[in-house]
Chain A
Amino acid sequence: MRKNFETEIQQLKDELLVLGSMVEQQILGSVEALKKRDMDASRRIREMDDQVNAKRYAIEEQVMIVIATQQPMAHDLRLLASILEVSGELERMGDYAKGIATVSIRMGDQVLLKPLIDIPRMAQKGADMLHRALTAFINEDVETARSIPAEDDEVDELYTQIYHELMMFVIQDPKTIERANWLLWVAHNLERLADRVTNICERTIFIATGELKEIESTDDKK
């Protein structure tokens, strides 16, 4: 039954996965380019954002067409509405990576304040969470979707650690303030990016159960 419709849904899921892997690549690439001070690579990451945006609009348009032509109900409707939402989240994550690339370009030939260790860890953790959250979304794996948001704590801890470390540099030598600020901005982008993974997990639970509510992070409890 509804073979065409099933095919259209499958295509949308495939496109969403493609968008997800583009964004993962953008996140890891932006930090790698920053670390290596590779301006060309940073520029390429910035340019990649156009492709990410185009893909997101293409998904949005296709969802509209499927809704208009197939009049989806119940589970199908929740899935399509969630694909719209998640494609928007992915695009915003791409914007954070673009922000990191922009920092790298603005830094120009300035040397990094310190060798990057925790920032690449944050990026790796964020990209990994994104990858698993998106896989859980496609498979409607509620258990995994419920477990991932707690991992955001690790990202938050790394952020706090980086913040304190950078503040120490600034206190010892106020002339480092600009270079510290660049890195703080990068860490902040990565922290926000990981927060958005939770939104994807919320949608997975919504599709499978019809229950739409915020997953409380430990941030909120503090």
Chain B
Amino acid sequence: MTDNNSVLETRNLNIYYGDFLAVTDVNFKIPRHKITAIIGPSGCGKSTLLRAFNRMNELVPGTHIQGEVLFDGRNLYEKTVDPVEVRYRIGMVFQKANPFPKSIYENIAWGARIHGYKGSMDELVEFSLRQAALWDEVKDILKQSGLSLSGGQQQRLCIARAIAVKPEVILMDEPASALDPIATLKIEELMQELKQKYTIVIVTHNMQQAARVSDYTAMMMLTGETRSGTVIEFDETNKIFTRPKDKRTEDYVTGRFG
């Protein structure tokens, strides 16, 4: 893969919570306009690694990193980089949908307004909701509270909110784990649409979901004396789930781990 085809790249990345080395020595590239899944057992640092991609870990006191995270070739952790700007360009969707306690319309418009968006707000709201496959369901109730929507709709609203500020990358941390199978399917199908324009990185515990939705998969596991998480195998998803190279990946995906 040439650098032009990857949007994010980690180099010798270590992530600490205080003195505790949570994630160690991660070196891999996130391919552009693809869906990359991060899988691995609980506590292996998947979410920590995901949050390192938009400097979200810094909101936890004592967290620091060593190494580099390159975004379009530039280190995100350089002193001159504004973390708020980073979080616009690399958006995030969480496990539990977290709409603002405002109208559906305002959920989309608010971030864009702060971000200095000058165009037609109505158009932006419609565009974002259409992109998130939510427009048809909410176009007549835009003034209702975002919290009045169902769980699956709230999650798509959060995706629309992330899209409204024109990100390049959308990070998703277990975006469907609190949803029923139909809402899950909608999110998964939406992801396939979104990857035409955005790069998606998803953390999931659901291996069938990783296998269904992603193009590439990174397998993480705790290793070494420090029991820190690292990426032990990264490959095309169809290889990871049919013929992984690492025995530990094999054990994990076949359910024989632990």
Report which A residues bind B (CB closer than 8 A): 1-2, 5, 71-78, 209-210
Contact = CB atoms under 8 A, between A and B. Distances in A.
A70 to B, nearest CB: 8
- Residue picked from B207, B211, B243, most chain A C-beta under 10 Å: B243
B207 A1 contact: no
A210 B258 contact: no
Nearest to B244: A74
A218 B92 CA distance: 58
A73 B211 contact: yes
Given A5-B255, A74-B244, 18 more contacts: A1-B255, A1-B256, A1-B258, A2-B254, A72-B254, A73-B253, A73-B254, A73-B255, A74-B242, A74-B243, A74-B250, A74-B253, A74-B254, A76-B254, A77-B241, A209-B243, A210-B242, A210-B243
Of all A-B residue pairs in the complex, the 5 with the closest CB atoms, nearest first, are A210-B243, A73-B253, A1-B256, A73-B241, A76-B254
- Residue picked from A5, A74, A77, A210, most chain B C-beta under 10 Å: A74
Given A1-B255, A1-B258, A73 B207 contact: yes
B208 interface: yes
B247 to A, nearest CB: 10
Contacts, number: 36
A71 B242 CA distance: 12
A134 to B, nearest CB: 23
A191 B243 CA distance: 34
Contacts of B242: 73-74, 77-78, 210
Contact of A2 (B243, B244, B256): B256
Given A1-B255, A2-B255, A75 B250 contact: yes
Contacts of A74: 241-244, 249-250, 253-254
- Residue picked from B208, B242, B249, B254, most chain A C-beta under 10 Å: B254
Nearest to B239: A210
A78 B243 contact: yes
Interface in B197-235: 207-208, 211
Contact of B257 (A1, A72, A78, A210): A1
A194 B158 CA distance: 61
A71 B255 CA distance: 10
23 contacts: A1-B256, A1-B257, A2-B256, A71-B207, A71-B208, A72-B254, A73-B207, A73-B211, A73-B241, A73-B242, A73-B254, A73-B255, A74-B242, A74-B250, A74-B253, A74-B254, A75-B254, A76-B254, A77-B241, A77-B242, A78-B242, A78-B243, A209-B243
Contacts of B253: 73-74
Nearest to B255: A2
Contacts of B256: 1-2
Contacts of B208: 71
A77 B256 CA distance: 14
Interface string B121-158: 00000000000000000000000000000000000000
A71 B197 CA distance: 31
Contacts of A1: 255-258
Nearest to A1: B256
Contacts of A71: 207-208
